[in-house]
Structure 1
Amino acid sequence: MEVSWEMSVTDSINTIYLLFSAYLVFVMQLGFAMLCAGSVRAKNATNIMLTNVVDAVVGSLSYYLFGFAFAFGDGTNSNPFIGTQFFALKDIPTSSYDYTFFLYQWAFAIAVAGITSGSIAERTQFTSYLVFSFFLSGFVYPIVAHWVWSSSGWLNHGSSGLFGSGAIDFAGSGVVHLVGGIAGLWGSFIEGPRVGRFDAFGKPVAMRGHSAALVVLGTFLLWFGWFGFNPGSFDKILVSYPNATDQGNWTAIGRTAVTTALSGSTAGIVTLFSRRLLVGHWNALDVCNGVLGGFVAITSGCSVVEPWAAIICGFIAAWVLIGLNILALKLNFDDPLEATQLHGGCGAWGLIFTGLFAKEEFVIQAYGPGVSGVARPYGLFLSGGWGLLGAQVVELLAIVGWVSVTMGPLFYTLHKLRILRISVDDEIAGLDISSHGGYAYTTHQEDTGPRFYSEYVRIQNE
């Protein structure tokens, strides 16, 4: 009876911890909504907030009906894609914990669609949001999650993984952020820039978001949620480490939260001063994106690196974001939320960073010792060999390829069917008035659209 009671208490604590983490990750949807709303012009505020709601509600159904089975199923169920049979899958014990694990993984899935929504903001038909959100949450993202996080995935960091290692992507720099960023890249590229974003000579025209307050609020909500995103990925808090029965995951959870905070903070401060030198003034929006870029980058290796390494991660992540933003302007690439650069670029850097700085002790703590008598690869810069870095590069390339061959054709098909981008007149007037019946703010100047359109026509005719 004593053993049974202890197991019951352990399961209960693990379940409570994972549910709490799932709630934190779900709060990130509110953060995304506020960040996106503040980053777009006032005439599109209702539209971008509605798309964030749609990501959650559509993602719930698509991930339940298809995505969860694709991510963690082994195909042995008689009907593995429908209903509650999802909760009898290979990677998950049959208990109430099944539902907790599903909820946590669902919160991750809907975050991916939110990233992509930002890339195609202010010019996309609402119907297209419904289509790509369902497809991304139910099919594209879950396949990548299976590769890396399922025990049967070919990139899983198991005892006999790729290059004797498998990829380490603890909370999803690649699985979540790179997937969302590359999907956004194709959507934004196929749609083209917003009307007026670049003048007749190809020079960028500033289109500032309408509310710095909402951007800062969204950033802090995302920061708060990231403490569920990264430390919460220890889905069982009461687990003993190999060869250290007096320790459990709780000894690494605090360190994971610290590395997360340090990387984001470093990226934020570097972005703040760098942009000050580049543009001549302090910019709250830039520093907020810098902070998020640091969080995205550390998400892969947050559990397996020292705090000092997290500072290096954030420092370089800031320059990755700054450099990609400059390149985007030179290529006339228009991503209103910088989602492609931030989540795609910093997510890719995060995978490489883990291959360079993962510490052997922490890798064993988080993933086990591997094959008996065979050293498990760890960070190249810490004398861990090339195995882990090689697996990280393979994951990066596999994600870019998979998302490109799935989401690229999807966006192109929507474009050819003329249901991807709104008309020029509707774009000028704003999505709120053209698609949602009215502006988000009663003080919004309803003649802004026509006046801006007249100015746009004048510039194009010069």
Structure 2
Amino acid sequence: MTLEELSNSTLILFIMLASVLVFLMHGGFAMLESGLSRQKNTANILMKNMMTLSLGFLTYFAVGFALMYGASAAGIVGTDGFFLTGFSEYEPLADSIAIDFLFQGMFAATAATIVSGAVAERMKLESYLVVVVVMTALIYPIVGAWKWGGGWLDGLGFYDFAGSTVVHMTGGVAALVGAAILGPRTGKYRPDGSPRAIPGHSMPLVVLGVLLLFFGWFGFNGGSVLALDGPVIAAVLVTTALAGSAGGVAAGFYTKLRYGKFDVGMTGNGILAGLVGITAGADVVNNLGAILVGLIAGVLVAVAVPIVDKKVDDPVGAVSVHGVCGALGTLWVGLFDVESGLVYGGGPDLFLSQLIGVVSVTAFVGLATAGLFLALKATMGLRVSEQEEYDGLDIHEHGVYGYPELALGAQAFPAGVSHEPIGEQAH
């Protein structure tokens, strides 16, 4: 093996490790979403997460990767290369293209799975799977082509290192629009329109999901270096850890000051918010900037969740974590960078580019997702029946309960009488 071959093989191993870590994040999403949902919908949540990864990866292979990284047409979308080829006809580049596809495919599935939690407990599985296909075949790849495919946003100077906008805000905006069109869970809002808290069933699963996502984020951001550059990789891992930690601290103490108690679930969302916030600039924001964006994101998510909850039923806070804090992280690159170490270090031109990126992606994803959900509503339908929602999606969509003992418990309650605990508004 030549030195060049050895170097290439080592790089492939590095990207493989990063891909595996991002893959693990889907286990984190599954645990987080199921823990924040009621137990009668656990199997449905798990099924959606498995299918999002499996179906989304195949769809991205068949269509999405080519649209994202093919030769750009007017800076908007790729138009050639890699459609259903398996990359074999592109030797000798096939190895490097294949491992890059593996890594990028994990990102595509991540953007799609963000929608899953926001539409939990009331959406038909078949309709959700159509959303996965369209997200990974068209919506996410087109946004990715604008930046990572060398498209018009990249030419504008827009900066998004690992996807605060391309991945997270894309998923967050899609989640907001989809959840709004789908409508809230039955019983979510009182007659006067005020929201009720509908508690999830397992805080241990929530925390396990958060920690798995935190762990996988080191591959998400660290692997995005896409090179064996030790100092840069180390810097990215440190800023990632600092921002996530700061987000958790900020959300935890904010809820203590605001509500008198440390909120476990919101602290978890604070960790994720800090991670989303640093993702756009993990390689250019210095350590102080990483801590600051994490602190701001942790408070911002704790403020945004109850605001969104007043109008849109988002059981897991996906809109606030990924959408709101994705925009924050993207704009932060224009405010605080490593070269100057000062706020506004990115300069007005960079900040304007970041703002244009946030607005344009929000508009495109919002319109595309609205069209998709409205089309599904008019054809396949979006929601399960009221009886199916009452009984739980597990038994109706899958013929099995996530927790078999629920089957015995459900028999003790007459039809039409809710046996799910609904507490007062927690936040």
Q: Normalising to structure 1: TM-score of the pair?
A: 0.85
2:104 aligned partner, one-letter code: Q
Aligned to 1:22: 19
Q: How much does 1:86 deviate? A: 5.1
Q: Distance in 2 between the 1:78 and 1:201 partners?
A: 51
Structure 1 counterpart of 2:70: 73
Matched AA of 1:278: R
Task: Give the partner amino acid of 2:378.
Answer: K
> Aligned residue for 2:152?
154
Pair 1:84-2:85 in alignment: yes
Alignment partners' CA distance in 2, 1:78 and 1:409: 23
- Alpha-carbon distance change, 171 to 131 in structure 1, aligned in 2, over 3 angstroms: same
Letter in 1 for 2:61: Y
The one-character-per-residue Cα deviations of 1:147-177 (angstroms, maximum 9, x if unpaired) are 1112x31122xxxx31xxx111000000000
Are 1:440 and 2:402 matched, yes or no? yes
Verify the 8 A CA contact 1:112 1:179 in the aligned structure 2.
yes
Match of 2:179 in 1: 188
1:360 is aligned to 339
CA contact (8 A) 2:145 2:151 kept: yes
Which residue, out of 270, 282, 292, partners 1:312? 292
SS of the equivalent of 1:96 reads: helix
Q: Is the 8 A contact 1:356 1:381 kept in 2?
A: yes
Q: 2:95 maps to what in 1?
A: 96
Give, as a single letter, the amino acid of the residue that structure 2 aligns with 1:348. Answer: A
Task: State the partner residue of 2:54.
Answer: 57
Structure 2: runs of 5 or more not aligned: 421-427
Structure 2 letter corresponding to 1:82: F
Q: TM-score of the superposition, structure 2-length normalised? A: 0.92
Q: Structure 1 residues 235 and 200, CA, compared in 2 at 3 Å: closer, same or farther? A: same
Q: Percent identity between the aligned chains? A: 39
Answer yes or no: is 1:133 the counterpart of 2:124. Answer: no
The answer to whether 1:198 aligns with 2:189 is yes
Aligned CA-pair RMSD: 2.2
Match of 2:383 among 400, 421, 444: 421
Residue 210, structure 1, aligned to residue 172, structure 2: no
Contact 2:70–2:79 (8 Å) recurs in 1: no
Alpha-carbon distance in structure 1 between the residues aligned to 2:2 and 2:380: 61
| Aligned pairs, number | 414
How far the C-alpha of 1:129 sits from its partner, in A, is 1.3
Alignment correspondent of 2:425: none
CA distance in 2, matches of 1:400, 1:41: 30
The alpha-carbon distance between structure 1 residues 94 and 302, as it changes in their structure 2 partners (threshold 3 A), is same
The CA distance in 2 between the partners of 1:70 and 1:360, in whole Å, is 34
Q: How do 1:281-292 and structure 2 match up within 5 A? A: 281-292=261-272
The counterpart of 1:168, out of the listed 155, 159, 164, is: 159
1:35 to 32, 49, 68: 32
After TM superposition, give the deviation of residue 226 of structure 1 in Å: 0.2
1:98-152 Cα offsets, whole Å, 9 max, x none, are 11001000000000111011110000001111100000011100111111112x3
Q: Which residue of 2 aligns with 1:245?
A: none
Distance (Å, rounded) in 2 between the aligned partners of 1:449 and 1:154: 58
By how many angstroms is 1:328 displaced?
A: 1.6
The whole-number CA distance in structure 2 between the counterparts of 1:131 and 1:379 is 45
1:257 aligns with 2:237: yes
- In 2, the alpha carbon distance for the partners of 1:136 and 1:209 equals 27
Identify which of 2, 5, 9 aligns with 1:5.
2
Match for residue 381 of structure 1?
344
Report the AA paired with residue 209 of structure 2: G
Aligned equivalents of 2:273 and 2:386: distance in 1?
A: 32
Matched, 1:106 2:105: yes
Render the CA deviation track for 1:180-212: whole Å, top value 9, x for unaligned.
000001110001111111111222222111011
Instruction: Tell me what 2:424 maps to.
Output: none
Structure 1: segments with no counterpart, 5+ residues: 238-248, 362-377, 457-462
- Aligned match of 1:342 in 318, 321, 341? 321
Classify 1:308/1:87 alpha carbon distance in 2 versus 1 (closer, same or farther; 3 Å). farther
Specify whether residues 184 and 335 from structure 1 end up closer, same or farther in structure 2 by C-alpha distance, changes over 3 A only: same
The 8 Å contact of residues 155 and 395 in structure 1, kept in 2 or not, is answered as yes
Amino acid in structure 1 at the alignment position of 2:249 = I
Residue 18 to residue 455, structure 1, CA distance change in 2 (3 Å): closer
Paired residues of 2:70 and 2:80 also in contact (CA < 8 A):
no
> Residue 405 of structure 1 corresponds to which residue in structure 2?
367
Amino acid in the other structure paired with 1:385: G
Distance 1:448 1:174 in 2: 47
